Amino acid sequence: MQTTLETQKQRLSKLQPLIALFVLCLIIGLLSDKFFTVSNFWNVLRQISVNICLSVGMTLVVLMAGIDLSVGSVLALCGAITAGLFKMGIELPSQNLYIGFTLLGASLAGVLTGALLGFFNGFVITRFKVPSFVATLAMLTVARGLTMLWTKGFPISGLGEQFAYMGTGWFLGVPVPVWISAVVVALAVFLSDKTKLGRYIYAIGGNENASLLSGININKVKIIVYTIAGALAAVGGLMVTSRLDSAQPNAGTGYELDSIAAVVIGGTSLSGGKGSIWGTVLGAIIIGVLNNGLVLLNVSPFWQQVVKGFVILLAVIIDKANSKNG
Amino acid sequence: MLVAENITKRFSGVTALDNVCLELHEGKVNAILGENGAGKSTLMKILSGVYPDYEGQLLWNGRPVRFANTKEAQEAGIAIIHQELNLIPYLSITENIFLGQEIETIWGTLDKKKMRQTTTELLQKLKLNVAPETKINELKVGQQQLVEIAKALLLSPQVIIMDEPTSAITDQEVETLFDIINELKQENKTIAYISHKLDELFRIADRYIVLRDGKSIDSGEMAGMNHDQLIQKMVGREIFVHQKPALSVPQEELLSVQHFSLKRSTKRPELVLDDLSFTLKRGEILGIFGLMGAGRTELFEALFGLYPSLTTGTVRIEGKEVKITSPVEAVKEGLALVPEDRKRDGIVPIMDVKQNISLASLAYHVEKNGVLNTQAETELATKYIQELGIKTSSSGQLIKNLSGGNQQKAILGKWLATHPKILLLDEPTRGIDVHAKSEIYKLILQLAASGLGILMVSSELPEIFAVSDRVLVLSEGTLTLETPVENATEDKLLKAAISKKC
């Protein structure tokens, strides 16, 4: 009897973000007649697709009780590299060499760069036992600096229609960025729920000592996860660059905070081991709807930030209260 | 002086102290003796206000008292120096000594001059020749111990409790400590001194108080007592022996460890384990006994590949030399470690029983190309839940909701699922009630009979006798005794555990 009551309570606490989203939509819908329209629906989803990519990677990292502050800068660098390679290629005048890049080649190079930077994060964290907060904070600065070097401080613009498809195109009636983030989410859900790697991620976050002593190669798992987070930040970078038709040197500033917010609102514990990709997706949608609603209601962008801050606090307080009861 | 009457203390069902009476004599060094787990530290923590809830009463100078916290005890005049150092490494000696007792000027700022002066006086008294500004982490361990004592002396207490003060310091520093103790005695201070180093106690204690299994056994004058009499009082319990099932495999050598040593760290070359050699046969249970700090847990962790750069020596499994440099490899070579601290190193509390059981063997049993087979996982878990008799509402129950004994069985299940050759059990029944203990012993005996080799560390002598075929005794990192269990007696083992290296 008691156990069924408990599981019911647990289920209810899992539903909380969903209920919150529902209530939020209802309120905004009552206040604004533009909210419940098809175009606004796609609009919200398209706007959050970048954050979803970042937040999915962030969820995997946070599940291991880590944090990745570098995603915003990595996004900017990878977007700039892809844009630069696609537009100008690599020229080596001394050897009379020019390498041109197709859209696919340039995109792969961008994603590969993100993966490499993530790998480097993971390597530093595991090899030198640097706290993830510090290691990725350093990467935040390094990647931003590299972006400035690569772009010389100027946007790389005029990338063409082909490039813009990724950020602004439609496929089967759905915006392309929404497709991309949906695929990312599907892969991440599969990874976290159905694979050995996913199980190890939860185990490491739940008890790193016990995982180590169970013969899990925790360093390998960590490096893989940071690599994934870096690659996903790069995917986000491609979408941002494509949507703006321009790689901005200061793109993605502060995005790490939005993604951490989505993870936390989605119920993933910052101390690791507890949470889910679906929760994060909900968290990202809640933030997106909130942003969208505040814009529709003509609330000043400054107030939007204040409101967002309190929503994050509220989410964590509710989560704390739940875990105390459970 | 300070008298404890009929003190009983329980920790979630386990009785740590059972009607203990004790009297500290004024101006004397009162030695508190007992094995690990006899209740010495618990009793001292009650005297010093760390544990405010207990049954029975304390009499302080004839008046009943009950300290709600350590601060009240300190103000009454009772100071404790804990076994673990409780200093803050990046603060200075002065700042540590005055932590929580800071002197302020009339302006509300810290009166650093006065604190510095008092610290200098205290350090002089303790013959510690360092500047009061020195940071704790720049001091040697023995010096840190002296700072702890200085901190205790700050409030000029009447009673000073020292919990194993010599466990981390060198012989020379021990001499300094004894000089200080003698001086304190001259000042008519009362000292409660916990130690299991009997030689020390004969040198400095005036009286003894023996605890065993949470009960007070005896007390009296130290003069006229000898080693054997004291050890006799510390041990001497009934031993329950289980029937050993017949062995189903030939007794061939499974594990051979030769000249195995472990350094403290790359910077501190002293040996935690010093040239250990032993073997383990298939189906054999080798009990490893030793007191706290003897290096038992370190032996297991080193064998399991946690300190690859600090170990020397050779390890052979089934005659083949192995180099184990990580737990990943340890598991591959057929080792399994059931750690001492179940909560910290054993379970993943927020996962369910099934996921905890499958954790070490996902790669062998329940995944293909990295994808989990949840049905196979449930079957695996169900199998071990049945075989080991794990009491849980379902395999989906969170493991933290299970009792200690059932958590321990689940961890055993996790390792059995990897089909190990050698089980390393570190205090396998710590914090487990009597009934579950006996079930775990039965399991250990069955597993050995099925052909596993088992190394079992325990600080409980009855446990060693209950299951071991052979016993090794460790003392300060060296092997001091190896004997078949038939020839072992409690005081033989305890003597070997206490003896210093020759």
Query: How far is B400 from B411, CA to CA, in rounded Å?
Result: 12
* CB pair distance less than 8 Å for A202 and B327: no
* CB pair distance less than 8 Å for B355 and A217: no
H-helix segments, B39-138 = 40-47, 70-76, 93-97, 112-125
| B328: chain A residues, CB-CB within 8 Å | 215-217
| A215: chain B residues, CB-CB within 8 Å | 327-328, 330-332, 360, 418
pLDDT at site B168: 66
Supply A274's token pair.
Answer: 């507890």
Q: How far is CA B161 from CA B127, B165, B174, B197, B458, in A?
A: 20, 10, 16, 16, 27
Q: Are B358 and B414 in contact (CB under 8 A)?
A: yes
* CB pair distance less than 8 Å for A211 and B347: no
| A212: chain B residues, CB-CB within 8 Å | 327
* CB pair distance less than 8 Å for B345 and A210: yes
Q: Interface of chain B against chain A, CB under 8 Å? A: 304, 326-328, 330-332, 337, 339, 344-351, 355, 359-360, 362-363, 367, 370-372, 393, 414, 418
* A7 contacts chain B (CB < 8 A): no
Q: Give the mean pLDDT per block of 10 residues along chain A (326 residues).
A: 51 75 90 89 93 96 96 96 89 80 91 97 95 96 95 88 86 92 96 93 94 93 97 96 91 92 90 92 92 89 86 81 58
Backbone angles phi, psi at B320, to 5 degrees: -100, 130
* CB pair distance less than 8 Å for B348 and A195: no
pLDDT at site A326: 41
* Per-range mean pLDDT, top range of A214-228, B285-299, B466-480: A214-228
- Domain range list for chain B: 2-234, 242-334+422-430+451-502, 342-419
What's the mean pLDDT in B110-118? 90
Confidence check: pLDDT of B21 > 80: yes
Q: Rounded to a whole number, what is the distance in Å from the CA of A271 to chain B's nearest CA?
A: 12
pLDDT at site B311: 93
pLDDT at site B155: 84
* Residue entry with tokens 């319990």: B237
- B-facing residues of A in 183-212 (CB < 8 A) are 194-200, 202-203, 206-207, 209-212
Q: Give residue-wise pLDDT tens across range A210-241.
A: 999 999 999 999 999 999 999 999 999 999 99
pLDDT bracket for residue B294 (50, 70, 90): confident
A230 Cβ contact partners less than 8 Å away, ≥ 6 residues apart: A57, A70, A71, A74, A114, A115, A116, A117, A118, A119, A121
Q: Are A326 and B349 in contact (CB under 8 A)?
A: no
3-class DSSP assignment, residue B488: coil
| B377: chain A residues, CB-CB within 8 Å | none
A74-83, A129-138, B95-104, B279-288: least confident range: B95-104
What type of residue is B270?
E
Same fold, B2-234 and B242-334+422-430+451-502: yes
What is the interface size between A and B, counted as CB pairs within 8 Å?
76
Mean pLDDT of chain B: 87
What's the mean pLDDT in B408-436? 88
Q: Give residue-wise pLDDT tens across range B185-208.
A: 998 999 999 887 777 888 899 999
Q: Rounded to a whole number, what is the distance in Å from the CA of A211 to chain B's nearest CA?
A: 8
* CB pair distance less than 8 Å for A217 and B328: yes
* CB pair distance less than 8 Å for B347 and A210: yes
Q: Rounded to a whole number, what is the distance in Å from the CA of A257 to chain B's nearest CA?
A: 27
* CB pair distance less than 8 Å for A196 and B367: yes
Q: Give residue-wise pLDDT tens across range B318-351.
A: 999 999 999 999 999 999 999 988 888 999 999 9
pLDDT at site A249: 92
Nearest one of B161, B192, B140 to B73, comparing CA atoms: B161
* Per-range mean pLDDT, top range of A12-26, A53-67, B287-301, B456-470: A53-67
Query: How far is B208 from B298, CA to CA, in rounded Å?
Result: 32
Asked if CATH classification 3.40.50.300 holds for the domain at B2-234, the reply, yes or no, is yes
| A1: chain B residues, CB-CB within 8 Å | none
Q: Rounded to a whole number, what is the distance in Å from the CA of A197 to chain B's nearest CA?
A: 7
* CB pair distance less than 8 Å for B304 and A213: yes
Q: Rounded to a whole number, what is the distance in Å from the CA of A168 to chain B's nearest CA?
A: 35
* A214 contacts chain B (CB < 8 A): yes
Tell me which fold the domain B242-334+422-430+451-502 belongs to.
Rossmann fold (3.40.50)
pLDDT at site B239: 44
* CB pair distance less than 8 Å for B355 and A203: yes
pLDDT bracket for residue B217 (50, 70, 90): confident
B422 Cβ contact partners less than 8 Å away, ≥ 6 residues apart: B254, B255, B280, B317, B334, B335, B336, B452, B453, B454, B455
Q: Give residue-wise pLDDT tens across range B237-246.
A: 544 555 666 6
Helix, strand, coil percent values for chain B (each to nearest 5): 35, 25, 35
Comparing alpha-carbon positions, the chain B residue that sits nearest to A214 is B360
* A25 contacts chain B (CB < 8 A): no
Q: Are B264 and B274 in contact (CB under 8 A)?
A: no
* CB pair distance less than 8 Å for A210 and B350: no
Query: How far is B483 from B287, CA to CA, in rounded Å?
Result: 10
pLDDT at site A212: 93
Q: Are A177 and A49 in contact (CB under 8 A)?
A: yes
What type of residue is B375?
Q
Which sign, positive or negative, has the C-alpha torsion A202, A208, A210, A211?
positive
**ipTM summary value:** 0.84
Nearest one of B187, B167, B209 to B22, comparing CA atoms: B209
Confidence check: pLDDT of B501 > 50: no
Comparing alpha-carbon positions, the chain A residue that sits nearest to B341 is A210
Q: Which of A195, A203, A207 sits opposite B372 (nearest CB)?
A: A195
| A192: chain B residues, CB-CB within 8 Å | none
pLDDT bracket for residue B102 (50, 70, 90): confident
pLDDT at site A9: 61
Confidence check: pLDDT of B172 > 80: no
In what side-by-side order are the strands of the sheet with B14-24? Answer: B14-24, B2-11, B55-60, B63-65
Comparing alpha-carbon positions, the chain B residue that sits nearest to A3 is B393
pLDDT at site A277: 96
pLDDT at site A325: 47
What's the mean pLDDT in B165-190? 83
A160 Cβ contact partners less than 8 Å away, ≥ 6 residues apart: none
Q: How far is CA A22 from CA A19, A25, A28, A321, B420, in A?
A: 5, 5, 10, 21, 52
| B339: chain A residues, CB-CB within 8 Å | 210, 213
* Residue entry with tokens 């990580």: B326
Query: How far is B418 from B411, CA to CA, in rounded Å?
Result: 11
% of chain B at pLDDT higher than 90 = 37
Confidence check: pLDDT of B395 > 60: yes
pLDDT at site A4: 47
